[in-house]
A and B are shown apart, each in its own frame.
Chain A
Amino acid sequence: MIEKMAKVEILGLKDIALDAIDVIHDLGTLHIEDLTERIGSMDNKRVSRMEMDPKFVEHEGTLNNLRAKVGDMIRELQPNVDDMSAENVATEYKGIWSENVEVMISRIESMLRDVERDTRDTVERKSDLLVELSRLEKYAPIMGKVQPLADRVAKMTDMASIALIIERKYKAILNYLNEEISKITEGECEIISSDVDDESTAALIVFNRRFLKQVHEFLAVQDVNQVRLPSDLSKKPIDEAVGEVRARIAQIPSEIDEIDSKLVGVTDKYSVKLIAARNAIHDRLEAMDVVPKFGQTDQVFIISGWLPEPEVEPMDKALTGKFGNKVIMTVVDIREEEDSEGTPVALHNSSFTRYFEILYMLSKYPRYGTVDPTIVFAFFFPILFGLMVGDIGYGILILVAGWIVHRKYINKPFVSMIGFVLTVGGAWTIFFGIIYLEFFGDWIYRWLGLLNADGELDKYLLGTKNSIFKYPVDRIEGFTFMLAVCLIIGWIHMGVGLVIGIINGRREHNFKHALEKGGIFAILTGAMMIIAKFGMAWWPTWAAGVGGLLALAGIVMAAKGAGFGGAIEGVVGMGNLFSYARLIAIGLASVIMANVANKLAIEQAKSGIIGVFVGVIVFILLQTLNIVIGVFSPSIHALRLHLVESFGKFFEPAKVRYEPFKKTGGEE
């Protein structure tokens, strides 16, 4: 359900404004309203936007710098936030937080100095090693290519060599270099080249040592990269240097590991403090950012906002308790508001239904004053899901997997919600699996000998092939029956949506809206009564006639409520009803695929031990594929049936979600 909200205005003496903001921030229940627009449209120019004290502007800059520093340290130390105890972070947070910004800044700076002292050398050493490794890894392939050429040059004592690395697309420059260096060396020069990889080419210029200086000078003004080894390697013969480079490449990772193990200790010591500092800085900056949303006169500050009705009293008590009559909170009755669209929406659902609020990850919240459909979603979504998948084996797997995901990711709300929804969906899958008597397809039919030679269901545990109601309900054999069941479910599901639409119309005193929704419901009901005549021979003709009249009356009502568009909407609603045929169609596709997997596996298993092995693999692969499709597709379609067919009949999205101004309390 949608939480009832109260609009409040808080007025107080300006000199205690920041303290009052701190109290509101601590309580964390007020959704702040930005007064900028209202102040702009006021005739009374004595009220202006609140401005921050210049001293605090300076603090804002310091806090932003500290945030960057703390962020850098968190990135360097990479603490495992998921495993961190929220309680420990909250305790550290309390130690850092102070209403006096200067005190808080000095605490954070002192902590950062400690972290820097303990980590500077190790972090710098690690950074140097990473740079060295990356440089040597670049050298290694180049030197590998140049080495055989250099070995030959080394035997010629009067010759010198210079290695170059050139982008392959500019390889043609080697011809130019050859011409120019030949001129410098009076023809005593040769360039040997070899491609290193797809992008670069290594070249070795061999020339008479007499021209070493001139060649270096020439190359210095050319746009080419000479391979410059680290100073300790540059004077060594190239084969020796290659060996050393390779040895260093092998050695550096173990040095980095050693540093990392040292850093683990430092990380353990400071990670909680760093995260708490990050949260405290975030909260403090947020409290500063919010100031321009408030109003002020020469003497008074004005804060306007929304909070859930049960939170009004605690807020009033906290403000009065701390500031007495220097701060006054006034509740503005929301019924006096002409526009409820601007009211922020907060949901308040039971612990079970709350998990189904995952729906609002895909959609906006319902508008304030309308009905919250979460409970409808919580009831129907798992049923529609289970109806489509409907298999005991699949249901058990989905239920167990869903529960594991739900428990394992309890700190990640989105994933945890998915897990819970799947768990409930899995339970309904088992329920419908029992109705269809399906276990990984037709295994139970096979074990109980209910199938004939063609693999069709021939015997029933209750009733016969010609009975209307029989058990098990085979989705293939009883397709028409299940189609009728799905249409009835659709009628109920859409009916619930339309009834909510009528309630919304009544709440907003919009009679025409309610009339339109009632008309569409009458059209759907009438259509169902007519369709029943085609499906069931015993359905009385007079009932079909009544259905026809009801549908006509519905069209008139819908037209009266919303004009021509309403009548069209009513007729389209019948199309929406047939959309529920997907419940059986998707389920049927799933069961046929499961049966095919079983048949293939059994056929394979008939040809000896290897056949059994292949059969088991075929069974596992196809059934796994079917389960994956069986979870994904029914979820999407059950969701669509809600958002388009049912909620489309009444749902009005909210403009604003309730987002209270609160401290993260070390849990960010």
Chain B
Amino acid sequence: MIAFSAAIAIGLSALATGLAQSRIGAAMAGAIAERPELVGSAIILVAIPETMVILGFVVAFLITALKTVTK
């Protein structure tokens, strides 16, 4: 159950990040085609949703650490 919870924590957040990045990435690709100077902002904007998967990863890791504690 603990492993399953950890998997959900990282899996769903990764899915959400992927969805968000796909849309931001597509929009920014269009924007860069028009205004190449936006490439810096694009990199930052694409990196923003990664917070979700990173926090998901942290939560997953903490859940697996919980397993060690409950042992």
Which residues in A have some Cβ–Cβ distance to B below 8 Å?
A: 361-363, 479-480, 483, 578-579, 581-582, 584-586, 588-589, 636-637, 639-640, 643-644
Contact = CB atoms under 8 A, between A and B. Distances in A.
A480 B40 contact: no
Given A586-B54, A636-B47, A637-B47, A362 B41 contact: yes
28 contacts: A361-B40, A362-B40, A362-B43, A362-B44, A363-B40, A479-B62, A479-B65, A480-B62, A578-B55, A581-B54, A581-B55, A582-B51, A582-B54, A584-B58, A585-B54, A585-B55, A585-B58, A585-B61, A586-B54, A588-B57, A636-B47, A637-B47, A639-B44, A640-B47, A640-B48, A643-B44, A644-B44, A644-B48
A581 B58 contact: yes
B58 to A, nearest CB: 5
A362 B61 CA distance: 33
A387 B49 CA distance: 21
A582 B61 contact: no
A479 B61 contact: yes
Given A479-B61, A480-B62, A582 B44 contact: no
B38 to A, nearest CB: 10
Contacts of B43: 362, 636, 639
Interface in B31-68: 40-41, 43-44, 47-48, 50-51, 54-55, 57-58, 61-62, 65
Interface of B: 40-41, 43-44, 47-48, 50-51, 54-55, 57-58, 61-62, 65
Nearest to B53: A585
Nearest to B43: A636
A589 B57 contact: yes
A588 B57 CA distance: 10
Contacts of B47: 636-637, 639-640
A438 B40 CA distance: 32
A123 B8 CA distance: 69
A257 B49 CA distance: 54
B25 to A, nearest CB: 13
Given A363-B40, A585-B54, A589-B57, 6 more contacts: A579-B54, A581-B54, A581-B55, A585-B57, A586-B54, A643-B44
Contacts of A363: 40
Contacts of A589: 57
A578 B55 CA distance: 8
Contact of B61 (A588, A639, A640): A588
Contacts of A483: 58
A577 to B, nearest CB: 12
A363 B37 CA distance: 10
B33 to A, nearest CB: 18
Contacts of B44: 362, 636, 639-640, 643-644
A179 to B, nearest CB: 50
Contacts of B55: 578, 581, 585
Given A362-B40, A362-B41, A363-B40, A637 B61 contact: no
A652 to B, nearest CB: 16
Contacts of A588: 57, 61
Contacts of A581: 54-55, 58
A637 B41 CA distance: 13
A480 B64 CA distance: 12
Contacts of B48: 640, 644
Contacts of A579: 51, 54
A637 B57 CA distance: 15
**Most central of B48, B50, B62 by chain A CB within 10 Å:** B50
B18 to A, nearest CB: 16
A582 B51 CA distance: 7
Contacts of A643: 44
Contact of B65 (A480, A578, A639, A640): A480
Nearest to B41: A362
A637 B54 CA distance: 11
A509 B56 CA distance: 42
A208 B41 CA distance: 72
A108 B41 CA distance: 43
Contacts of B50: 582, 637
Contacts of B51: 579, 582
B39 to A, nearest CB: 8
A363 B50 CA distance: 20
A639 B48 CA distance: 11
B34 to A, nearest CB: 18
Nearest to B46: A636
